[in-house]
Amino acid sequence: MKHNLIIADDHKMFLDGLLSILNSESSYNILYTAKHGGHVQKYISINTEEKIDLVITDVTMPEVDGITLNKWIKNTDRNIKTLVVSMHNTPEIIDSLIENNVDGYLQKNAQKEEFLKAIETILGGEKYFSKEIKDIYLQNKFEKNKEKEIKLTKREVEVISLIAEEFTTQEIADQLFLSKHTIESYRKNLITKLNVRNLAGLTKYAIKKGYVSS
Contact 29, 78 (CB under 8 A): no
pLDDT for residue 18 = 92
Strand, coil or helix: 72: helix
CATH of the domain at 57: 3.40.50.2300
From 143, 164, 189, give the residue that closes a domain: 143
Number of domains in the chain: 2
Contact 106, 83 (CB under 8 A): yes
For the segment 174-184, what is each residue's pLDDT rounded down to a tens digit?
Answer: 999 999 999 99
Same domain, 138 and 38: yes
Same domain, 16 and 106: yes
Residue 136 main-chain phi, psi, to 5 deg: -65, -45
From 143, 166, 194, give the residue that closes a domain: 143
Domain membership of residue 36 (yes or no) is: yes
Contact 104, 128 (CB under 8 A): yes
For the entire predicted model, the pTM comes to: 0.70
Same domain, 27 and 96: yes
Rounded to whole angstroms, the Cα distance separating 67 from 100 reads 8
Rounded to whole angstroms, the Cα distance separating 195 from 64 reads 41
Same domain, 11 and 56: yes
Domain that holds residue 42: 3-143
Same domain, 8 and 101: yes
pLDDT for residue 62 = 87
pLDDT for residue 214 = 61
pLDDT, block means (10 residues), the chain with 214 residues:
93 91 92 94 94 95 93 94 91 92 94 95 96 91 78 93 94 94 94 91 91 76
Q: In what order do the strands lie in the sheet with 81-86?
A: 28-34, 3-8, 54-57, 81-86, 104-107, 128-129
CATH of the domain at 201: 1.10.10.10
Burial of 82 (C-beta count, 10 Å sphere; 0-12/13-18/19+): buried
pLDDT for residue 213 = 72
Same domain, 20 and 50: yes
pLDDT for residue 140 = 87
Domain membership of residue 185 (yes or no) is: yes
